[in-house]
Structure 1
Amino acid sequence: MSSTAAPYPATPRTTPTRARERAHYDHATVHAILDSDYICHLGFVSADGGPIVLPTTYARVGSRLYLHGSTGSRPLRGAAEGLRVCVTVTRTDGLVLARSGMHHSLNYRSVVAHGTAHRVTDPDEHRTALDAIIDRIVPGRAADCRPATAKELAQTAVIRLDLREVSAKVRTGGVNDEPEDRDLPTWAGVIPVSRTLGTPVPDPAMSAETPLPDYLRRLLAEQGLRRGQE
């Protein structure tokens, strides 16, 4: 999907009631947030009418989300006929410490998507979705793994959610204290929050001569990290 595509339309469910200036509907912002994390939270209403929220891995392919699950799970069974869901992804970028308790906050990026999810039944799309989920964790990993067997594929379900009713919300910047509080003798400011990858820990059962894959080297290089050994 081109970054110049029309923004996702604002709807009553995707329009914030507070801090509307933080809402974003452009594809570039929404997709960048979705592509920055590994776990989403899938919300739906169960058969008994109770709300359920489940964490799961996911991947974005164009304007579509694929979510991983077990064939025996409730949302995956319900998605066979279409399941109304809400999917969220959130990244924390900073702790905002104000002079007053009321104005403490977080710098964050989040996406909320609403819609009807459907279970993926086409075999080719199923494999493509699972490969995309693996590559969301580490790009290039899917091609370096043993392909799933027919039995494994039968045990693994994927649901698809088309991104149509979706928005991002972003908070950046510093402290928003009341003017009369700015002279208080209390430390105030922002503590940045970041996530980095550590040095790979080899599986003890693996041969010591097994080299680190090039795609993993590239990923670590992008993080500015060095491996402990060549």
Structure 2
Amino acid sequence: MPAPHDTTTAPDAYAPTDRTVPTRARERASYDREVVHAILDEGYVCHLGFIRDGAPVVLPTLYGRVGERLYVHGSTGARPLRMAGREEADEAPGLPVCLTVTHVDGLVLARSAFHHSLNYRSVVVHGIARPVTDPAERAAALDALVDHVVPGRAADSRPADAKELAATAVLRLDLDEVSAKIRTGGPNDDPEDLALPHWSGVLPVARTYGAPVPADDLAPGTPVPGYLTRR
């Protein structure tokens, strides 16, 4: 994995750019594809940032990854999806965006308030979100969005019908300008604070799943799918 300032890039890494090199804690940056993909695949919600009417806007939304592409979807009437479909002079439709995904792995408690922190894993993607119009790609993208939340669910549910598809817009964001940033380990207390009587360390944070709760109108005897009991 290359250092953030390297000018050469390994085949299994994304090339650093001015927008993906952090200004602080550069040693925490990673451009490794497997690391980036793992962080993306573990998340559920991304935050999609763009400029609307001259002001920054950030929206939380579901996403799905297929290879080196991310997909998001929404109503055809939603403003960001309509903006992405506009054609500018001599340019293809698209919306400049910044997409982020973050996991919190621990609360880092230092002896001083200043050095409190989080252990985290995050990914930032810059690029142009473009509308997906090819029917086959749209179908694959919508399946990926469902399976991203619960793998195997797309094949175990009714696909969208023509009316639902007409009301749904899908955007594609290629993974070209990408970086991950990761913090691990304990607090970074100042030497002069080590003798203070305050507890210092890490409180781990982990995601857990409860038992599946059937819908009130579920037919009696309907078995719980194996992909839920294995989670």
Q: Is 2:146 aligned against 1:134?
A: yes
Partner of 1:65: 70
Alpha-carbon shift at residue 218 of structure 1 (Å): 2.2
Alpha-carbon shift at residue 135 of structure 1 (Å): 0.2
Matches within 5 A, 1:97-116: 97-116=109-128
Alpha-carbon shift at residue 215 of structure 1 (Å): 1.9
Alpha-carbon shift at residue 217 of structure 1 (Å): 2.2
Alpha-carbon distance in structure 1 between the residues aligned to 2:47 and 2:166 = 23
Alpha-carbon distance in structure 2 between the residues aligned to 1:74 and 1:8 = 31
Aligned partners of 1:22 and 1:169 also within 8 Å = yes
Other structure's SS at 1:35 match: helix
Aligned residue type for 1:13: R
Question: Of 52, 57, 62, which residue of structure 2 is paired with 1:52?
Answer: 57
> What count of residue pairs does the alignment treat as equivalent?
215
Partner of 2:15: 9
Structure 1 runs (4+) greater than 4 angstroms displaced = none
Alpha-carbon distance in structure 1 between the residues aligned to 2:207 and 2:226 = 22
Aligned partners of 1:5 and 1:27 also within 8 Å = no
Alpha-carbon distance in structure 1 between the residues aligned to 2:82 and 2:11 = 34
Aligned partners of 1:43 and 1:85 also within 8 Å = yes
Aligned residue type for 1:10: P
Matches within 5 A, 1:189-204: 189-204=201-216
Alpha-carbon distance in structure 2 between the residues aligned to 1:159 and 1:16 = 27
Alpha-carbon shift at residue 95 of structure 1 (Å): 0.2
RMSD: 0.9
Question: Of 5, 24, 34, which residue of structure 2 is paired with 1:28?
Answer: 34
Alpha-carbon distance in structure 1 between the residues aligned to 2:189 and 2:73 = 42
The one-character-per-residue Cα deviations of 1:140-184 (angstroms, maximum 9, x if unpaired) are 000010111100011111100000000000000001000110110
Alpha-carbon shift at residue 207 of structure 1 (Å): 1.3
Aligned partners of 2:69 and 2:175 also within 8 Å = yes
Aligned partners of 1:108 and 1:170 also within 8 Å = yes
Alpha-carbon shift at residue 213 of structure 1 (Å): 1.0
Alpha-carbon distance in structure 1 between the residues aligned to 2:226 and 2:187 = 42
Alpha-carbon distance in structure 2 between the residues aligned to 1:63 and 1:146 = 27
Identity in percent = 67
Give 5+ residue unaligned stretches, structure 1: 220-230
Alpha-carbon shift at residue 69 of structure 1 (Å): 1.2
Aligned residue type for 2:114: M
Other structure's SS at 2:215 match: coil
